[in-house]
Structure 1
């Protein structure tokens, strides 16, 4: 069984990752910083966001918080605009809000 370790890695050309790693992939709690300055912080499984997490704009303002599945917004979640005001809040399915 592979062991979880805390690492800081260049996960891809566009992402720096700091957090728990299993078999060379983000797994557990961690933070990804994207080249555009945005960030995701939360749960990871097999290299993708899975479970609860938060996305941030490059200025640090909250962009989304909620549930993820296989790297997509999936489950309950809330999106926020750059000015901090709340946008859609409710259920998501594979990155699409359910209305």
Structure 2
């Protein structure tokens, strides 16, 4: 018989960076209901600060935000961590935007 504690739960920590407060609340509450720990930021500057201070297991970021857009935040995060998964939320669908997201390390 295994000595593994089957009641232990590993919760992924998600950093959600979204400037639309209503959308941020909906996404955050849905992820929390599914068992994730969610920290939110309302722009790229705040998102970068929170990642630097607290880290994250996954980053979900809007592309078009004030102060620092999601792509720029992603570039700066990639200088800190090459491995944290980074997903972008965007209404942009142009090939150049998609390529840019992947080139900077988006998943």
TM-score (norm 1): 0.28
Larger Rg: 1 or 2?
2
In terms of fraction of residues, the more helix-rich structure is 2
In terms of fraction of residues, the more strand-rich structure is 1
The higher-RCO structure (CA 8 Å, 6+ apart) is 2
